[in-house]
Amino acid sequence: MTPQSVLTFAREALSLLLMVSLPVLLTVMVVGLVVSIFQAVTQINENTLSFVPKMIAAVIVFLVAGPWMISIVVDFIRRTFENIPMALG
């Protein structure tokens, strides 16, 4: 296994990580921003008011994009396992 192949594998893994986690992170961030603005306008300081909407949004994103996320990760793992003999020999 050459250093170039290790770097390529690491780059692919990091890009996969970003691609799979980005929908959930962006959704939760936007919902958190909207709830924070709502709390600032109404001067309500309730911790559950910011936690519950973010959890609901994350669950909805997982329900909608979950199959796509799983298929992307499974494909990456399958390609990784298929390349093990080439990496060792």
3-state secondary structure of 26: helix
User: In the block, which residue shows the tokens 């691609």?
Assistant: 19
Supply the pLDDT for residue 12. 95
H-helix or E-strand containing 57? Answer: helix 47-82
CB 61 within 8 A of CB 27: yes
Side chain identity at 30, as an amino acid letter?
A: V
Look at the chain and report how many structural domains it folds into.
Answer: 1
- Domain hosting 24: range is 3-88
Taking only the tens place, the pLDDT of each residue in 33-84 is 999 999 999 988 887 888 999 999 999 999 999 999 999 999 999 999 998 8
pTM: 0.80
CB 31 within 8 A of CB 54: yes
Supply the pLDDT for residue 6. 86
Taking only the tens place, the pLDDT of each residue in 2-21 is 888 889 999 999 999 999 99
